[in-house]
Structures are given as C-alpha cells and as structure tokens.
C-alpha cells in the first residue's frame, strides 16, 4: 500500500475513533454519491444529473439530522428519568 493511501487510512481510522457518527455519515454520503454516479454512467446517461445528486445529499443530510436529533432526545429522556426506560 502506498504511503498516501496508508496515511489516508490511518487518518480515516483516527477520525472513526474520535468522531464515529460524523465519520460514518460522511462515508455513507460519499459512497452514496459515488454509487449514483456509477449507476448513471452504466445506464448510459451522457451528462451527469447534478440535481439528482444534490437531492440525494439533501435527503441524506435530513435523515442524518433526524437520527442524531432522535438519538439525542432519547438519551436526554432516559437521563431525565434516572436512566429508567418509561414505556407507559
């Protein structure tokens, strides 16, 4: 493995340890964009559909925000209730 690739992997793994949610979100977004670009090219689309990519990114960011918000409010709810899950 080349030194640039090795350094990049080390940086990625460091970010994954320090900021797991953010790193996974960025990784998922990049992979989603790459897969969409590849799919567009395979189907024979000559000009890249940037609007389609942007809509995917916006949808992804919205879902990420919703997940983070729901996750954080659930933790706050559990913390407020003394750590007991209240299902009533």
Confidence band of 58 (pLDDT split at 50, 70, 90): confident
H-only helix segments in 1-88: 3-18, 20-42, 50-80
Q: Which residue has the tokens 């000009």?
A: 47
Average pLDDT, rounded, for the chain: 77
At a CB cut-off of 8 Å and minimum separation 6, what does 77 contact? Answer: 86
b (16+ CB within 10 A) / e for 43-68: eeeeeeeeeeeeeeeeeeeeebeeee
32-51 confidence digits (pLDDT tens): 888 888 888 899 888 888 88
At a CB cut-off of 8 Å and minimum separation 6, what does 15 contact? Answer: 22, 23
């Amino acid at each position: 493995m080349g030194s640039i690739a090795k350094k990049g992997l080390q940086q990625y793994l460091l970010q994954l340890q320090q900021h797991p949610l953010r790193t996974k979100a960025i990784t998922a977004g990049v992979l989603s964009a790459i897969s969409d670009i590849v799919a567009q090219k395979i189907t024979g689309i000559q000009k890249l559909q940037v609007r389609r990519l942007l809509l995917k990114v916006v949808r992804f960011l919205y879902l990420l925000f919703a997940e983070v918000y729901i996750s954080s409010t659930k933790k706050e709810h559990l913390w407020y209730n003394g750590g007991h899950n209240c299902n009533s």
